């Protein structure tokens, strides 16, 4: 049996796949953040109720695993969003500017820009009331 001839990949289909992957990873990252918060709350409740030491230790391990998943999922999400941006920049002329997936990609990227800019905000410490040599 002869191998199939490779068809050129449709940019619209690639866009759809990339947008869906980004949407899935954004939801996944948000889920892990929520799960971590819930698990931390449950662990605190277990400690307050003075549950069995082994149960608390086991659940502390669960919380630790949740903590590890948050940066991993956020890194995968950011990488896919960056891949989508690069894809759009290099294939914009081959894509339907008014298409469903182009609209979805644009809104997704603008939402992520909003998230990025809010993460980049650094508040300054007010040091006006401090005397010379005094720590804050």
**Neighbour-count burial of 64, counting CB atoms closer than 10 A to its CB (0-12 exposed, 13-18 middle, 19+ buried):** exposed
pLDDT at 107: 93
CA distance 92 to 30: 29
pLDDT at 113: 84
The answer to whether the CB of 23 falls within 8 A of the CB of 80 is no
> Of 84, 83, 78, 90, nearest to 105 (Cα)?
84
Provide block-wise average pLDDT over 10 residues at a time, the chain (136 residues): 76 94 96 95 93 93 94 95 94 88 92 72 58 60
CA distance 45 to 69: 22
What is the Cβ-side half-sphere exposure of residue 9, based on CA atoms within 13 angstroms?
7
Strands (DSSP E) contained in the chain are: none
pLDDT at 38: 95
- Taking CB atoms within 8 Å and a gap of at least 24, the contacts of 77-80 are 77/22, 77/25, 77/26, 77/28, 77/29, 80/18, 80/21, 80/22, 80/25
Could you read off the pLDDT of 73-109 as tens digits, one per residue?
999 999 999 999 999 999 988 888 888 999 999 999 9
């Amino acid at each position: 049996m002869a191998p199939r001839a490779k068809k050129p990949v449709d940019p619209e289909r690639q866009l759809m796949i990339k947008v869906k992957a980004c949407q899935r990873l954004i939801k996944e990252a948000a889920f892990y953040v929520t799960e971590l918060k819930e698990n931390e709350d449950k662990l605190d409740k277990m400690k307050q109720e003075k549950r069995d030491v082994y149960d608390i230790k086991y659940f502390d391990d669960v919380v630790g695993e949740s903590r590890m998943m948050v940066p991993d999922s956020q890194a995968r999400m950011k990488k896919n969003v960056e891949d989508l941006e690069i894809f759009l920049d290099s294939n914009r002329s081959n894509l339907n500017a008014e298409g469903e997936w182009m609209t979805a990609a644009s809104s997704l990227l603008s939402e992520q820009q909003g998230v990025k800019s809010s993460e980049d905000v650094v508040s300054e410490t007010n040091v006006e009331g401090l005397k010379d040599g005094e720590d804050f």
